[in-house]
């Protein structure tokens, strides 16, 4: 059997002396969509930052395609095809949509053609000459996902991509992410919108106080109102 594309093995991560992740185990197979759920402060963003090498684990291992990364940096992860779209949208406000995409493509040897990005996000083509700061929240979010996609990630990690967006925009973005998933894109998605997230995902992990408290099929968690009530409802 192939090694999972991403594997966290008993990962412990700290902020200074504060123990944020406790023995986190997590696997993502090629082609899977995995939801990472949990209340505010549960450790979801910390998990993604640990994977990216922004916050190296104090113990445990992060493996990409079976290879353990000893002291990974975000650049190492990018080279291995792991891209994170962080909570705070990272686009250049003073540059146009097209310039934002070109710059993102620079760090990749074989980037996606911009035309392919515009096929995924037709709205970005319409707005291609607009400066980043004049885009709506939804368009900015599309652009930050597009900046990751242009590097043809093997693994795309989205941290609360629907946060702060109007429901109709959330529906449009959901459709785009669902399309990417159908085309075989491997995705880890963190979301507060549990129902939307579980409709996209194949499997789900629930974190609470930095620990994995649930792991299973997304459709099972959708029916598991007790787990949702204990760990997810506000
Ligand atoms: N930069 C930081 N310094 C210290 N503690 C932090 C920092 N960022 C997050 N934490 C703490 O780590 C825990 C997990 O946070 P986080 O991963 O951001 O949660 P989530 O993304 O699930 O809302 C929380 O208790 C939070 O207060
Ligand atoms: Mg977070």
Question: In the structure, which protein residues have their CB atom closer than 6 angstroms to any atom of ligand 1?
Answer: 15, 18, 20, 38, 40-46
- Average pLDDT taken over every residue of the chain: 94
Specify the pLDDT at position 233: 82
pLDDT in tens, 91-104: 999 999 999 999 99
Nearest ligand to the CA atom of 41: 1
Q: Tell the residue nearest (CA) to atom 1 of ligand 1.
A: 15
- d(C-alpha 161, C-alpha 33), whole Å: 14
Torsion sign, CA atoms 10, 209, 17, 156 = positive
Nearest ligand to the CA atom of 160: 2
Residue to substitute in 20, 193, 207, 234 for testing ligand 1 pocket (most ligand atoms within 8 angstroms of CB): 20
Specify the pLDDT at position 1: 62
Q: Tell the residue nearest (CA) to atom 12 of ligand 1.
A: 20
Write out the two tokens for 103: 């710059």
**Neighbouring C-beta atoms of residue 88, cutoff 10 Å:** 8
Specify the pLDDT at position 234: 67
**What's the whole-number mean pLDDT along residues 36-45?**
96
**What's the whole-number mean pLDDT along residues 36-41?**
96
* Ligand 1 atom having least distance to the Cα of 38: 22
Task: Say what percent of the chain tops pLDDT 90.
Answer: 83
* Ligand 1 atom having least distance to the Cα of 42: 22
**Three-state SS at 161:** coil
Specify the pLDDT at position 135: 96
- d(C-alpha 229, C-alpha 41), whole Å: 17
* Ligand 1 atom having least distance to the Cα of 43: 17
For 100, 101, 150, 172, 193, the CA distances from 129, given in Å and listed in that order, are 10, 11, 18, 22, 32
CATH classification of 1-45+55-81+155-163+180-234 is 3.40.50.2300, yes or no?
no
User: Which residue spans of the chain are classified as CATH 3.40.50.300?
Assistant: 1-45+55-81+155-163+180-234
- d(C-alpha 230, C-alpha 189), whole Å: 21
Specify the pLDDT at position 3: 86
End-to-end CA distance of the chain: 40
- Whole-number Å distance, alpha carbon 207 to ligand 2 midpoint, is 11
Query: Above 70 in pLDDT, residue 35?
Result: yes
Q: Tell the residue nearest (CA) to atom 3 of ligand 1.
A: 15
Residue to substitute in 35, 46, 84 for testing ligand 1 pocket (most ligand atoms within 8 angstroms of CB): 46
**Neighbouring C-beta atoms of residue 118, cutoff 10 Å:** 18
**What's the whole-number mean pLDDT along residues 104-116?**
93
* Ligand 1 atom having least distance to the Cα of 46: 17
Specify the pLDDT at position 192: 86
From the number of C-beta atoms within 10 Å of its C-beta (0-12, 13-18, 19+), residue 9 rates as middle
- d(C-alpha 131, C-alpha 116), whole Å: 20
Residue to substitute in 43, 44, 52, 206 for testing ligand 1 pocket (most ligand atoms within 8 angstroms of CB): 43
Specify the pLDDT at position 6: 97
Q: Would you say 196 and 162 are in contact if contact means Cβ atoms under 8 Å apart? A: yes
């Amino acid at each position: 059997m192939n090694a999972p594309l991403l594997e966290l093995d008993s990962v412990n991560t700290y902020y200074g002396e504060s123990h944020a992740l406790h023995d986190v185990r997590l696997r993502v197979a090629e082609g899977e969509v995995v939801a990472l759920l949990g209340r505010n402060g549960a450790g979801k963003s910390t998990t993604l930052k640990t994977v990216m090498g922004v916050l190296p684990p104090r113990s445990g291992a992060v493996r990409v395609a079976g290879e353990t990364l000893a002291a990974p940096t975000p650049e190492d992860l990018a080279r291995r095809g792991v891209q994170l779209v962080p909570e705070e949208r990272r686009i250049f406000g003073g540059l146009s949509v097209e310039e934002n995409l070109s710059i993102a493509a620079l760090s990749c040897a074989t980037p996606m053609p911009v035309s392919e990005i515009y096929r995924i996000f037709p709205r970005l083509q319409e707005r291609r000459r607009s400066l980043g700061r004049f885009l709506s929240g939804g368009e900015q979010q599309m652009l930050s996902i597009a900046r990751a996609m242009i590097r043809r990630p093997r693994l795309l990690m989205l941290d609360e991509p629907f946060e702060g967006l109007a429901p109709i925009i959330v529906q449009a973005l959901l459709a785009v992410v669902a399309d990417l998933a159908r085309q075989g894109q491997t995705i880890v998605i963190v979301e507060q919108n549990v129902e939307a997230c579980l409709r996209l995902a194949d499997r789900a992990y629930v974190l609470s106080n930095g620990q994995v408290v649930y792991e299973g099929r997304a459709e099972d968690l959708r029916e598991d109102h007790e787990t949702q009530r204990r760990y997810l409802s506000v």
